[in-house]
Amino acid sequence: MSTGANPVPRRRFQRGSLVEKSGRWYGVYRDDVLQTDGTFKREQCWQPLGPVSEQSERAAWKQFQPYLDRVNEAATRLPPKVGLTLSEFAGEWRRDVAVNLKGSTTRAAESHLRAHIIPKLGSLHLVKITTKTVQGFVAYLAGGGRSKKTVENVLLTLSSLLKTARAWGYACGDFRFADLTLPREGVKKEPRAFTDAEMRRIIAAAPEPLKTVLIIMAVLGLVSVKL
């Protein structure tokens, strides 16, 4: 039987129990499992051990003990801080980290937060910021016509925030750039050259010595502009 979800696990020392079921020994204990919303849920775990016909009760306890040791060791450590949204953590980051960065770095990060990260991801809990979530964020950024370089810079800011969150003990998701499909660079248009008629009108209207310069450039085929 499991209890309801809790914001932090109520860890305690466990002795566990040994159960014989269908001809096999099982070690039964409880563990605090992190949920997708950042809360913990205490669940009963059944660890299969050896067959009763081949293993004594004492031998089964000996095989079960490492699983109990792992759970009880975790009980001595502080639980991770959970339940925080990306927007809430960004507030902490601005207060304690951004003030120590170079002005240009802070301005760039703040621009990414205000324009892209907070509006799209701010309401999500940190544990929800996974590779799949970030891939959708990439599609959103690319759909707005932003360059690959801009997308990469925004993702670097997001990655930096998550790295700090983990260092501070928050339970949070993760993503790797290698696992993301980033937008391709746009194909640059060839510059349009003036037509002969346009060039004649420009030369006719130009004062000297610009007129002579344009005539020479036109003859050499050097005149073209981007429109």
Identify whether residues 160 and 222 lie together within a single domain.
no
Report the C-alpha gap between 198 and 203 in whole angstroms: 9
Contacts of 54 (CB under 8 A, 6+ apart): none
Report the 10 Å Cβ neighbour count for 22: 7
Q: What pLDDT is stored for residue 38 in this prediction?
A: 53
Task: Print the domain residue range for 200.
Answer: 189-227
> Do 142 and 201 lie in a common domain?
no
Spatial separation of the C-alpha atoms in residues 51 and 21, rounded to whole Å = 10
Question: What pTM was estimated for this model as a whole?
Answer: 0.51
Whether 173 and 197 map to the same domain: the answer is no
Residues 166 and 203 in one domain: no
Q: What is the mean pLDDT of each run of 10 residues along the chain (227 residues)?
A: 44 76 90 62 84 92 87 66 84 88 86 93 91 93 85 93 89 86 65 70 84 77 49
Judge whether 80 lies within some domain: no
Number of separate domains in the chain: 3
* 161 plus 193 within the same structural domain: no
Strand partners, 169: none
Query: How far is 128 from 160, CA to CA, in rounded Å?
Result: 16
Same domain, 214 and 133: no
Q: 116 and 168: one domain? A: yes
44/12 same-domain check: yes
Assess whether 174 and 208 both reside in one domain: no
Q: What's 173's domain CATH number?
A: 1.10.150.130
Q: Are residues 198 and 126 in the same domain?
A: no
Whether 114 is in a domain gets the answer yes
Pairing mode, if any, of strands 5-6 and 24-34?
unpaired
d(CA 197, CA 31): 82
Say if residues 93 and 53 touch (Cβ distance below 8 Å).
Answer: no
Any domain includes 194: yes
Domain boundary, last residue among 40, 75, 110 = 75
**Beta bridge mates, 46:** 28
Residue 194 C-alpha from the chain's centroid = 48
Residues 41 and 92 in one domain: no
pLDDT at res. 112: 93
* Of 65, 149, 90, 106, residue with least CA distance to 141: 149
Same domain for 92 and 171: yes
Domain boundary among 75, 98, 128: 75
Q: Is residue 134 part of a domain?
A: yes
pLDDT at 198 (0 to 100): 77
